[in-house]
Amino acid sequence: MPSKILNSLRSFMRAAVYKAPLRGPFRDLMLRLEQAAPSRKPEFWDQQLAGEFQSYLGGTITVEGRNALVAVMLRHYVKEVRAVLDVGCASGSLAKVLKQSQDVDYTGVDISEFAISQTDPADGDFFVSSLDDFSPKEGQKFSGIVVAEVLYYLDPASAVENAARLCSYLDFGGVLVVSMKNDVKSEVIFRGLEDRLQWVGGIAFQEHPLRPRFRTYKSREYPAYLLGIFRENGAPS
């Protein structure tokens, strides 16, 4: 079957699952299925990052492009970027990019021990922990918290809940940076974040290897990404 039709079918099914106002037993079943997904387990990530998903560790146009945009957005929206927390940091490639332009105190967290073994300890402090379990040292605050390409591995409600919880570790004037690829689940999570937090600004990007086009489109091979900046509701800019 042509991949365009398969992609549309996939989008339709995901829309039915994530956008439908599921209640009662269906909702519980969905939640249980999400929680049992292989991508919720550290072993999955250890294995995939050492194999098929090796490109997530860095060195691609997408990862390096996202790192560069995160650095630009942080510099633009935060007066002084001092401490940055990167949740789902993979090899910590963002640290090197941030440190090119300023002295930043970088903390990276990842569920995968393999990912953390690929980081450079000279770049900051690194911890093996899942997003849901992570809390910083008592009183530690960050001027930027980055959650790039991680939230859609959680169910939408806990993704929003955890992102809002992370915001409580922001310093005065700090921002939460969320990057997600263009699919139905990410849309639902972005909408939840928009209801819960203050949208500050964003930028969308997509690699276009085939034709010069302005439009972004849904693609599994070359997804479009939206990088969004949020503050806690009522937080000063």
Interface residues with ligand SAM (CB under 6 A) are 45, 49, 56, 63, 66, 87-90, 110-112, 115, 130-131, 148-150, 153, 179
Nearest residue to ligand SAM by CB is 88
**Which positions ≥6 away from 223 have C-beta within 8 Å?**
181, 182, 183, 206
Dump strand ranges (E) for the chain: 83-87, 105-110, 125-128, 142-148, 170-181, 198-206, 224-231
| Identity of the residue, 8 or 100, whose beta carbon is nearer to ligand SAM in the bound complex | 100
Q: Tell me the one-letter amino acid at 33.
A: L
| Identity of the residue, 132 or 233, whose beta carbon is nearer to ligand SAM in the bound complex | 132
Residue 19's region, left for phi above 0, alpha for psi from -120 to 50, else beta, is alpha
Taking a C-beta distance cutoff of 8 angstroms, is the pair 86, 107 a contact? yes
Q: Tell me the closest approach of the beta carbon of residue 37 to ligand SAM, in angstroms.
A: 10
| Identity of the residue, 111 or 160, whose beta carbon is nearer to ligand SAM in the bound complex | 111
Q: Tell me the closest approach of the beta carbon of residue 85 to ligand SAM, in angstroms.
A: 12
| Identity of the residue, 78 or 147, whose beta carbon is nearer to ligand SAM in the bound complex | 147
Q: Tell me the closest approach of the beta carbon of residue 53 to ligand SAM, in angstroms.
A: 7
Q: Tell me the closest approach of the beta carbon of residue 3 to ligand SAM, in angstroms.
A: 21
| Identity of the residue, 85 or 197, whose beta carbon is nearer to ligand SAM in the bound complex | 85
Q: Tell me the closest approach of the beta carbon of residue 102 to ligand SAM, in angstroms.
A: 20
Taking a C-beta distance cutoff of 8 angstroms, is the pair 189, 159 a contact? yes
| Cα–Cα distances in angstroms (integers) from residue 89 to residues 105, 198, 231, in the given order | 14, 24, 21
